Structure 1
């Protein structure tokens, strides 16, 4: 779902005269943007990244993964605050082409 389409759908679910609700929608959209950027970072660098510390090299999980999880939780909480629990809103990146094998 494109950002503009998502905003339109979210705005139709709230009282647009209530500035607090409008602010929550804007925050929700900002979190979705960050979530999509985390997806792009993970796609670019992979689930594991190589770290160099002097002469040592080692792999560690991409920190964007844990940040993505935090963002997902924040999006869910804000969605509940906006009473979006019963809406069928899926946050995806139009360029996502992941499958289960990407996790191995």
Structure 2
């Protein structure tokens, strides 16, 4: 898959497939950091704020949801097709990373 995004190109050329997973995971973390979405891996999803909650809380929740989706796309794009199919329905990016860690180890 050709990509115009140089960060996505790093993931395209370094898919998590087995050997050298630590190097490939490091590349994924670099991409997530550079795109400013890494934070969702270390921040739990917040409950949906109620109508009487300040707008800032709604904005924070919306930002988390948006960045979580972007993080999931980068993670899924960095793994081979069989793993993509196993994880595509997972809602939270950190859950995908945890599951991949269980499969491949640290």
TM-score band by shorter chain is: 0.3 to 0.5
Higher-helix-fraction structure: 2
TM-score, normalisation: structure 2: 0.33
Bigger radius of gyration among the two: 1
Higher-strand-fraction structure: 1
